[in-house]
């Protein structure tokens, strides 16, 4: 069981809560980004204060030490998702990872007449690269039908697949409704049609145990900053045989073996082939510390705690009689709602006036309004360090309801 007091003491942002509008901050926007524990900050500080050097660039101890740190981080990340070390590519984040798959892999293998299967619930980062690939290759984009609740079911995926489907890319956990995809079953369906399956793990890797071998996904993308790690660092997992076939998206220093006046060039093996330029070394080291931190708590404990928080929030919010909740049954710690009769952005501004940070709008999933039948929602998203007190503050604010809001805005 997670010891909330002990865990919160690890986070400077929680030890000394910043004031927002005169109130202690209640941070309920963890799907957007997460706070960092001391160990992550210390690891990054160590890089800047004691061991600043580049990696793969010098013949001196400090550089060699950096190579070892990068390798150790790659191993830790591989272990975190049960991959091989050589299958972990460091990127700038989930967005960088998805763009690398799109422009490195799909651009090379897709052609006119092929289909890319997505869903209306995807984040911009798992839509816009595919729009570009479709434009560049002549492939078309198709959307799987979401069920009544907004979930992607294996049956709907089977229904949407045909001999033209070459690439399928879905969020493992959606960032608005928070449903956990049956990735293993869907991977089986996608592969039975000979297509490639990419999983956007931005909202799953921080919150749930992932075993890429068991799921049998081809690619998995995620971001460090959503899992108590630094910003500007992310991961693309790819099956090694696919990484070997993938084109480079960026070229430059650190990824090549040689190049010459005649235009000849040769590149390193994956994953280094995909890490052109100086890597985000502080980020890589910080990500290692983040993975260690999450594992010291335990991914199963984290998932369990978030499910408890979600159930608590849904129950309390529904008791107010003042909300419509769009995802009461989803597996993750995301509650997406509207205060009855109040536009989402107004509601979030009102919550801000009480020191409560929630996201409002369409949360970068700009096609989902077709399904939700509302232009905007409020999203409260929890992490293992979220307290019931913070949720109570949200509930109290919602309880005051329309009258209070009228007074606030008029």
Q: Which residues bind ligand PLP (CB under 6 A)?
A: 93-95, 123, 125-126, 171, 175, 200, 202-203, 223, 364
Q: Which is nearer to ligand PLP, 37 or 230 (CB)?
A: 230
Place of tokens 């949407």: 160
The nearest distance, CB 95 to ligand PLP, in angstroms, is: 3
If the CB atoms of residues 110 and 202 are measured against ligand PLP, the closer one turns out to be: 202
Taking the complex as a whole, the smallest distance from the CB of residue 226 to ligand PLP amounts, in Å, to 6
Count of positions (residues) in the chain: 410
Task: Choose the catalytic residue: 63, 198, 358, 364.
Answer: 364
Cβ closer to ligand PLP: 153 or 223?
Answer: 223
CB of 354 to ligand PLP, least distance (A): 24
In the residue annotation, 364 being an active-site residue is answered as: yes
Rounded Cα distance, 379 and 398, in Å: 13
Toward ligand PLP, which CB reaches closer, 119 or 203? 203
Tell me, letter by letter, the H, E, C secondary structure of the chain: CCCHHHHHCCCHHHHCCCEECCEECEECECCCCCCCCHHHHHHHHHHHHCCCCCCCCCCCHHHHHHHHHHHHHHHHHHHHHCCCHHHEEEECCHHHHHHHHHHHHHHHHCCCCCEEEECCCCCHHHCHHHHHHHHHHCCEEEECCCCCCCCCCHHHHHHHCCCCEEEEEEECECCCCCCECCHHHHHHHHHHCCCEEEEECCCCCCCCCCCHHHHCCCEEEEECHHHCCCCCCEEEEECHHHHHHCCCCCCCCCCEEEECCCCCEEECCCCHHHCCCCCCHHHHHHHHHHHHHHHHHCHHHHHHHHHHHHHHHHHHHHHCCCEEECCCCCCCCEEEEEECCCCHHHHHHHHHHCCEECEEECCCCCCCHHHHCCCCEEEEECCCCCCHHHHHHHHHHHHHHHHHHHHHHC
The CB-of-231 to ligand PLP minimum distance in angstroms stands at 8
CB of 31 to ligand PLP, least distance (A): 6
The residue among 126 and 362 lying less far from ligand PLP, judged by its C-beta, is: 126
Nearer to ligand PLP, 66 or 117 (CB): 117
The smaller minimum CB distance to ligand PLP, of residues 203 and 362, is found at: 203
Query: Please, what is the minimum distance in Å from the beta carbon of residue 32 to ligand PLP?
Result: 6
Shortest Cβ distance from residue 372 to ligand PLP (Å)? 16
Contact 394, 313 (CB under 8 A): yes
Q: Which residues are catalytic?
A: 364
């Amino acid at each position: 069981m997670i010891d909330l007091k002990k865990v919160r003491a690890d986070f400077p942002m929680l030890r000394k809560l910043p004031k927002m509008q005169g109130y202690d901050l209640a941070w309920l926007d963890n799907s957007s980004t997460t706070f960092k524990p001391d160990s992550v900050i210390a690891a990054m500080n160590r890089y800047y204060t004691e061991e600043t050097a580049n990696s793969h660039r010098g013949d001196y101890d400090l550089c060699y030490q950096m190579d070892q740190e990068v390798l150790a981080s790659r191993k830790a990340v591989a272990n975190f998702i049960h991959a091989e070390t050589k299958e972990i590519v460091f990127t700038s984040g989930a967005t960088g990872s998805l763009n690398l798959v799109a422009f490195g892999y799909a651009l090379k293998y897709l052609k006119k007449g092929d289909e890319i299967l997505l869903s209306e619930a995807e984040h911009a980062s798992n839509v816009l690269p595919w729009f570009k690939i479709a434009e560049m290759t002549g492939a078309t984009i198709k959307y799987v039908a979401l069920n009544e609740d907004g979930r992607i079911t294996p049956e709907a995926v089977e229904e949407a697949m045909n001999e033209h489907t070459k690439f399928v890319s879905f969020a493992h956990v959606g960032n608005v409704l928070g449903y956990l995809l049956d990735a293993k079953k869907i991977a089986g369906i996608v592969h039975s049609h000979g297509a490639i399956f990419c999983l956007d793990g931005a909202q799953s890797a921080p919150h749930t145990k992932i075993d890429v071998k068991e799921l049998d996904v081809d690619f998995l993308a995620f971001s460090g900053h959503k899992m108590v790690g630094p910003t500007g660092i992310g991961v693309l997992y790819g099956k090694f045989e696919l990484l070997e076939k993938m084109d480079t998206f960026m070229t430059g220093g650190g990824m090549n073996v040689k190049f010459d006046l005649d235009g000849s060039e040769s590149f390193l093996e994956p994953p280094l082939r995909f890490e052109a330029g100086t890597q985000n070394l502080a980020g890589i080291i910080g990500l290692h510390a983040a993975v260690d931190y999450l594992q010291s708590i335990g991914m199963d404990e984290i998932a369990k705690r978030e499910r408890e928080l979600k159930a608590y929030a849904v129950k309390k919010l529904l008791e107010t009689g003042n909300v419509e909740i769009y995802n009461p049954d989803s597996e993750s710690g995301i509650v997406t709602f509207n205060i009855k009769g109040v536009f989402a952005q107004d509601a979030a501004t009102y919550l801000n006036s009480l020191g409560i940070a929630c996201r409002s709008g369409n949360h970068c999933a700009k096609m989902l309004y077709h399904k939700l039948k509302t232009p905007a929602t409020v999203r409260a998203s929890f992490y293992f360090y979220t307290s019931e007190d913070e949720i109570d503050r949200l509930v109290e604010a919602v309880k005051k309801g329309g009258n209070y809001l009228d007074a606030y805005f008029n």
